[in-house]
Structure formats: structure tokens, C-alpha cells
Structure 1
């Protein structure tokens, strides 16, 4: 770096300049007046002070500049890049600490050394050309060279040089920045090595490897791909990949590649296994399987496809499939079951006979053990026999029992091991021969009678077995015990050897009413015209009444029938009692309906009486009281104005009370029903209801009979009255429709509103709705019905209908 200037030298130079300027001044101070001299001295003193202040300011500025220069010197020395200043011959004239480190020599020793001395021999020409370009062009130049130092260490450096010009435009020096790029160079060499290895792997791979760019043009085409598609790499490079795909699949291929490019997946299989076809340059199509991967290099997507020609494999698989089909056909058509298990007892294969026997598909069986298919006892026995074969290492035969739909089946099972190429057992094969029927025949010969007897004796019903001619072959203990105790009951009083058909014929001759039906049923089952027969018949004794249920079912292969007699006396007696209770309950119901009718009639009579008393008595008295108050109001001249006003108010209230009593009497018993009929009475009530509640009600009458009985008219009026009252209290409706319609069969009334409705299933609504119960009783009492349709927030409709024929409408 440059040496800092001395302060005393600077001041001396400034003084000399000042003295020179003073000598050159035109005015002589000695000739000046005193006053001007004094003025001049004053000015000089002021200037002196200003100069001293400026000098102090300059001193501070100089110190700050020196501190800043020191900081930049530190930044220069400790910069991550080496900085060198060279003369036109390439000799180092200045260097920072990083350059000292990179070149491996002390900075003092570095000055005066040619930079070429630190360049490796292999890169001397490169550095020489770099120097020439800097001195020749004067522009920024770069190069990469290998450096060496005294210790023999070698590293890579990046040189960036720029020429320095003097005022006349001549190059006097040039600066060079030196960066250590050894790590980057090492990485590049490793990448190059990996690239060479990858190329070797790709070229030596047995599968075809093809890489395409974003436009699906080939950029990598290895030797295996050349052999597969019969195309040289040079001919394939830069060509569209779809030239190796049959034309009919190209559009679908482009669509799949486009979708794959948009996904985040980096690899996936292409198509279904065996479902892809390639196209050789000779026009031959062949099957292949492939996988594709997606990478992005330098922002550009690359797709690498690995393909394997599976032509030979498909041929081998087809031959194997044909062989397996032949073997499977043999196994499936074998009359015996064939099974295959692995060494752990898991099923590998079963034939069709096994599927039919146990109602399980092959897929349901494979992979399971005996424990998952059979009951524990059977599974344990099968596994024990399997282990014996594994231990013995030779074929063995066993007698095994398995449970089928029709019971246990006994089979002779031949089991043997299957061995792999190394001579190790990998599976156990079993071939079964069903000997169930042989076993059954043997067992039947030994214990048929004892077994049959034990079964029959275990039944509580009275059972006998007939042959095809009707003779009794067997009976159980219950049959014999009943026959012993009830010799007079001819339908069951017979033992082995007797002909039961003759027993029935004797019963017919003795006048048994059901014997003919029973005989015909038994003969139909024996003849095969009926699959079974059953009948209930009485079999009374002087001590008690009994009923029996006879069932007749055929034996296998029409060898006879089985007859059972079950005592159903208790059931018949219970049915009789139930019938009596039903009749009693019906009578009570009739009584309740009659009582409800009488209550309604009594209620109407009471309402009529109260209405008459309100109209004829109370209302007349209220009218008289109103007249008296009016007379008093007119005749009282001595009363004050306040008293007269009070009398007027009392008279108005009495009038209102009279009107209310009149309305109450009308609601209790509408007299219009008796004078003008139902239709006009309903219209009048609807009008009165609208006036009183302000709720609009539409009334519609169609085909109403001219004359109706007072009972029907009253009950329909009450249904409408109660319905409108419920609408007013609960519905929160804005519109009501009342419809009265007649027909040849009866007369109906409906009241519909658009209110909030209610849930008919709500028990609380049922309990509280006593008015609904009253309406239902009124309709039911006249032989009609009442229906209510309602849902929450969907309004309510009440429908009543009364027949004409029952009540003479």
C-alpha cells in the first residue's frame, strides 16, 4: 500500500505559497494610512481565525479518511478472493492476504514474483493466452487454471483480470481477482465420472433405456434399445419417440405422458402388465412392459423409459397356462377332492369337488388353514395327519371324517409331499375317496334298529312308521304308552304289525268324522300325490277332551311314511278361551260405544237446555235491565253529568253482556240447524267465526242433501265447530277452508288450515286433544269415521264422513 504523507511537509509547502502571493500584491503596506492598516490587521486576524478553524476541520476529515482507508485495507486483505496487482510483464506488485494463502507464499516474498511461476505446467499455455488477451484487449478476461505451491499442494483457481490505463490511455498495470474453485472442479470431475459410469450402465443394461425431452424427442438410446427396435442409436437420436409405438396407440400415449408430466410423481408403471405394444423398424409389433421416470435438469424436463421385451415370457406363460388348464381340468373333473397345502398347513389349491362339498370358492379357501374352515376337532385331526406325512417323508393313507351339509363324510385320504428342485418339501397333496355311503351301509346294518328306536323314543309326540302298504313297522314309547292307557281311542290304539289303514277304516265304520280325511291324506302321501299331510282331530274320552295334530311325511325313496300325533289340547283350550275373551271384549266395546253415544246425546240435550235458559231467561232479563237503565238515564234530571255518563257506560256493558250471552247460547245450541238446515247453519257459523277472530274462512258446499236428520246435522256441525276452535287456539293459520259435500253414499265435511300442524305420533298431543276424541266418537257413533292429516309446519286437515244408508241421510 502507499505510504501516508507527513503533516509538517504539507504545512511548509502551504507557507511558501502564501509568501509568494504576498510579494505579488500591488499595494505597499508602509504607504497605507494607519486606519487602513488597522483595518487590514483586523481582517488578517479574522482570516487567521477562519484558517485555524478550517485547518482543524481538515484535520478531522483527514483522520476520518485515514480510518476509512484502514477499514478498506482490512476488507481488501481479508476478502474471500485473492487480489493481485501486476505490471505489464506479469510481475506481482501488490497482493492481499487471501492471495498469500492461495499461492502458499508470504506476501513480502510474493511481491516481485511473476504470477506465471505459480501456475501448474499443464495450464501455462492457458495462462499465457490469458495475459495476452488482457494486455491486448484491455477488457475483462477470465480463465481457469491449476495452481501449485512450494509444498506441492495443488488447487484450481479462477482468474478474472482487468487492465489499468494511465491518463494517456496506455496500460500500466492490471488487476487480477483469484478465486479458489477446487471444490467446484472436484464436483465436476465426480459428475463426469458418474456420467461415464451411468453411460456404461445404460449401455450394458439388458433392458432398453430411452430418454426423451419435453417434446418427446430421443436424447438417450442404449444398445439394448437398438436391439429391441432394430434401430441404430444415431438414427434414433432427435427423432420422436412415438415412431416406436403403433400408430393406433400414439394419441393415447401422448395423453398419458402429458398427464404424467403434470403430476408430482417422479416415476410410475406404464399401462397394465402385458398390455403395451412396441413397433420395430421392420414393422413388427411386440409386447413389452415399461416404467417411466420424470426428472428436471436445468429447468428442462426429461422422461426416461425403461422397456423390457416380454415376447418370450408371454410364450412361456401361455405354455404354462395351457399346462395348468389341462391339469386343472383333470383335477376339477375328479370325483374325489384334491387339496394342496404349504408346509405351514395353509391351502394353496383345491379342486371343484372340494368347492361343491363345502360350498366355498377356491378364492375363499386359499391362504387359510384347517382351523379357519373346519370345527376345531376336525381341524386338529387333519393337521395331525399332515404332520405324520411330513415326519415320515413317504406317502400315507388315513381315514378322515369331515362335516358336510348332509352330515359327516368319511373318506380315505392319500397324502404325499411335493419337493422343489433342491429336494426340499414345499407342499403336501391330498387325494380323497369318499366312503361315506359304504360306512353308512355298514353302520346301518349294525345299528339301524337301535338308532331308529332311540330317536323315536326321544320324541314327545306319538310316532309310528308305516311301510308302503300301511303296516306299522316301528312305534316309539310315547305311542305304546298312550295306546296302553287309551285302548278305546281307535286312531292310536295299534301296535307293530297292524295295518294302520285298516285301523282308519274301522274308525270310519264306527262313525269317526275325521277318519275319512285322515285315511285319504295318508294314502295320498303313500301314493306320492302329496308331499305331506296334516290334520287336527278330536280324540275325547269320558274323563277329558283332547285334540291331536297328525302329520304324515314320506320316507326316502317312497318306502313308507312317518305318522306323528302331537297333543294340542292345551293350545285348543287356550284358543277357545281367547275366543271367549274376544267376544267379551267386543261386547264391552259395543257397550262403550253405546255409552259414548248416550253421553254425546246427553251433552247435546244439556247444551240445548242451557242455551234455551240463557236465551229465554237471562237474555230477557238483561234486555229488561238495559231498558230500565235507559229509562233511568232519561228520567234522572237531578243526577250529575258524571252519574249520567256512568249510567250510559253501564247500559252499554249490559248490552254487550246480552250479546255475549246470545252468542254463547248460539254456540251451545245453534237453533238454525232445526230451522234452515246444516248448510246455512255452517255458513252462518263461518261468518260469525270470521267476524269474531278476524281469520278468513272459505266455505264451499256441493251436492248437500236437502234434508238431514238433526242428529247427523248436529254432529257434523259440532265437528266443524271444534275444528275451527282448534284452528283459532293452536294452528296460527292465515287461511282456512271448510268444505261440505254429499254423495249417494254419504255426506262428508273437511276443515283444512295452513297453520303449524302437529305430530300425530306425539302422545302428549293425543292426551291433550280431548276435542279430537269427541269428534271421533261422534263420527263413529253414526257409522262413519273421522281422519286427521297433519305434519309439523304443513297444516292440518280434519275429514269427517257419515254414510247415508245407515242413518237415512
Structure 2
């Protein structure tokens, strides 16, 4: 510490000087008029000023007027120094000016006290550069995350521990028909059909008590949402819970699956119709893999066999056909295999097969048609057998 300590504060020398010089924070003492009466050794380390350069100078040398704040530093610090609430005795974010002219973010705490009969402001200053950078980085990160959430394709809805809505992105606005400002702070149940609200509330509470961090909400039962119009619609939903800063939040990623379900139902209905035609056709029809294994066979085809032995997966020529002695002799079996190989190579093939029914010959005209995929590869062989019952 410099020997130029202001005479008015000479009582700080000795023991107190030793203690103050050992502190890592800069300690500055100022009179009510804003003149500096004392600085400790850490002030020079932090701000670059020695005691001889600032003692007797205005505090604004070290803490210049803050942008956007009308009050000068002395009035501004005085206001905080005399604040009766001890909770207000916290560090404030300000900007200090170093001796080299560079400004640096600092944390400043000021308290009012007396040295003898003289009023003084005791100011503690900490370098806040790292924390300010962390705050800026966190703010930028939160801003990026918020923008990603807002433009995400999925509807994203977050709720707090009381199931009140705290995040509602653009996709959610489009999905439910509400603007974000209309739902923020409102209960989640406004987005759920009335008949499902009690169940859903219990479901969230159950998820809260579970060890799972996330869950597909449709695992147990269908999830439905409720638009502003009152329309109920199906949802695919994943819910995640996060504990941050002691607060529990839930975030749901939602997709309206109305059109997907319609397409699924339409496909299923089409498959039912095709299956009905396939099973009730008078002709015997079988679908084979390219190597001749039976993939599907209709009722008329099954009626040409002699047992309940499973047909699916068996080679067509090994099925227990009626009149097995007539149909599956070496010549017939070899001929059927050759016809299947020809069809599997991409050529439509015809052949005649003779079975026996009720002791009478049953001639069948067989057509083998290759079925190719979009790349032209044969993936199935369709076998159609025409006969006179």
C-alpha cells in the first residue's frame, strides 16, 4: 500500500492495512463527495492504478458514468450504500476503467460506514469478465435454442411442475389454433379433449414419479389433442422431463398424425379388399418367392391339397396336392421347378398339371407371371391355376 494514504483515513494503517492488502478484491474508500481516500494493493493489480494516482481523485476515475444510467457514480453508489435492506448489499454489475483506458466489467458492492467521525463509502470491486462472458454465451445459447424450438417442424409444448404452459412454439400455434400469448400460463388441459383431461393429468404425475427421463406417450393408449375449434385429433407425442435450477419442467414433442392415420386406414381397407378378392377367387392363386417357396395361397389353392400341413414357406412342388401320384412324380416336379425358374428370370410361363379329385383326373392350366419391383428385379412369382371344379 502506498504511503500517500489520505490523512483523514490514517487510522486504517497498521493492522487494518495489512488485512486489506491481503484481500483478492480491490477495496476503495471514498468520501461523500466522491473523492477517493484509500485503495488497497489489489486495486493496482485489478485496475492498474497505484494509490498515489487515485487518492484524492473522484471515484469516476475508476467507475465512469454507466451507459444508459442518468445518475452519476457518486449518487448511484450512495443510493445503494444507504439502502437499509441488507439483501441489497449484493454485488452490482458495472463497468470500470483501467489505467490503460480499457474498460472491464466488474462486480461492485458498496456499504456506508464511518471512520471516527467521518462518513465513508466502502467499495469492493471484483473482475466480472469471465462471468459476463459466461452470461453472454448462455444468453446466446438460450437464444439459439429458443429460435430452434420456435421454428421446429414438430409442435413443442413445455409445462412447469403445475402443468401450466411455459413454451408454445410456432408449430404448436398452427396445430392447435392458439397464439402463444393466449396459452402461456394456462393449464395444459386446455389442449386436451375434456373426456381425457383427468386421465392425462394422472399420466403426467405418474411420469413425474417414474425413473424414466422420456417416454412415448402413445405407448399405453392413443393420445389426442383438442384444437381451439373443439376438434379432437390424434397425436404422436414424446414427453421429456428435466430438473433445472430446482424446477421440474416437462417438454412434449407433438405430431398431428391425422393424415397418416387416414392413409394407414385407407391402405388397410385396400388390403382387406384385395385379400377378400384373393381368398374368394374361383381360381387357385399362389404367390411365390423367386426360389419357389409359397408366400401366400388362397382358399381355392388350399382346397387342392390333401392335409392340414402348413403350406406357407414350403416349395410349391412339395405341397400335398390332390392325386399326389399323378402330380408330383419326378417329371411333374421337375417341370414345375423349371417353370418357376423361367418365371423368376422374367418370362411369363404356361404349363399343364393334372391332379386327381374323387378318383377322376383334374387337369389344370397353370400360368406363372413374374412380378418385379421398381428396379426391375423379380421379387415374386404369381401362380394362377384354372380348372373345372
- When the two structures are superposed, what TM-score results if normalisation uses the length of structure 1? 0.36
Q: Are residues 1:267 and 2:214 paired?
A: yes
The higher radius of gyration belongs to 1
Matching of residue 96 in structure 1 with residue 40 in structure 2? yes
Q: Tell me: higher relative CO, structure 1 or 2? Use CA pairs within 8 A at least 6 residues apart.
A: 2
Shift of 1:142: 4.3
Larger helix fraction of residues: 1
> Counterparts of 2:167 and 2:115 in 1: how far apart (Å)?
55
Q: State the Cα deviation string for residues 73-119 of structure 1 (Å, max 9, x = none).
A: 2x643533222223333343433343223213455545444342233
CA shift in 2, pair 1:166/1:361, >3 Å: farther
Query: What is the aligned counterpart of 2:147 among 185, 192, 200?
Result: 200
Q: Give 1:311 shift.
A: 1.4
**3-state SS of paired residue (1:283):** coil
User: What's the counterpart of residue 62 of structure 2?
Assistant: 118
Q: How far, CA to CA, are the matches of 1:154 and 1:395 in structure 2?
A: 85
1:462-473 matches, within 5 Å, as none
Residue pairs, 1:679-698, within 5 angstroms? none
> Number of residue pairs matched?
338
How has the CA–CA distance of structure 1 residues 250 and 256 changed in structure 2, closer, same or farther, with 3 Å as cutoff?
A: same
Contact 1:277 1:285 in 2 (8 A): yes
Taking only aligned residues, the RMSD between alpha carbons, in angstroms, comes to 4.3
Report the alpha carbon displacement of residue 254 of structure 1 after superposing the two structures with TM.
1.7
1:336 to 285, 300, 307: 285
Shift of 1:255: 1.7
Q: 2-side partners of 1:389 and 1:110: how far apart?
A: 100
Partner of 1:281: 228
CA contact (8 A) 1:340 1:350 kept: no
Question: How far apart in 2 are the matches of 1:317 and 1:300?
Answer: 40
Correspondence 1:8-27 to 2 at 5 A: none
Q: 1:234: how far off?
A: 2.7
SS of residue paired to 1:88: coil
- Shift of the 330–146 alpha-carbon distance from structure 1 to 2, 3 Å rule, reads farther
Q: 1:218 aligns with which of 141, 165, 189?
A: 165
Q: Residue by residue, what CA displacement relative to the aligned partner does 1:607-657 show, whole Å, maximum 9, x if unpaired?
A: xxxxxxxxxxxxxxxxxxxxxxxxxxxxxxxxxxxxxxxxxxxxxxxxxxx
Matched position secondary structure for 1:337:
strand
Following TM superposition, by how much is the alpha carbon of 1:430 offset from its aligned partner in structure 2, in angstroms? 0.8
Q: Name structure 2 gaps, 5 residues minimum.
A: 4-13, 320-332, 354-364
- Mark the runs of 5 or more structure 1 residues left unpaired by the alignment: 4-65, 402-409, 438-809
Distance 1:125 1:151 in 2: 25
Distance 1:242 1:134 in 2: 46
Q: Distance in 1 between matches of 2:243 and 2:187?
A: 19
User: Following superposition of structure 1 onto structure 2, how do residues 313-392 of structure 1 map, counting pairs within 5 Å?
Assistant: 313-333=260-280, 335-339=284-288, 350-352=296-298, 356=302, 359-360=309-310
Q: Are residues 120 and 289 of structure 1, via their aligned partners in 2, closer, same or farther at CA, if it must alter by over 3 Å?
A: farther
Counterpart for residue 229 of structure 1: 176
Q: Does the CA contact (< 8 Å) of 1:395 and 1:415 recur in 2?
A: yes
Paired residues of 1:212 and 1:220 also in contact (CA < 8 A): yes
1:159 aligns with 2:108: yes
Q: 1:432 aligns with which of 369, 383, 386?
A: 383
SS in 2 for 1:271: helix
Distance of 1:300 and 1:137 partners within structure 2:
31
| Partner Cα separation in structure 2 for residue 354 and residue 81 of structure 1 | 95
- The within-5 A match list for 1:720-735 is none
Equivalent-residue separation in structure 1 for 2:292 and 2:139 (angstroms): 54
Q: 1:418 aligns with which of 356, 373, 380?
A: 373
Structure with the higher fraction of residues in strand conformation: 2
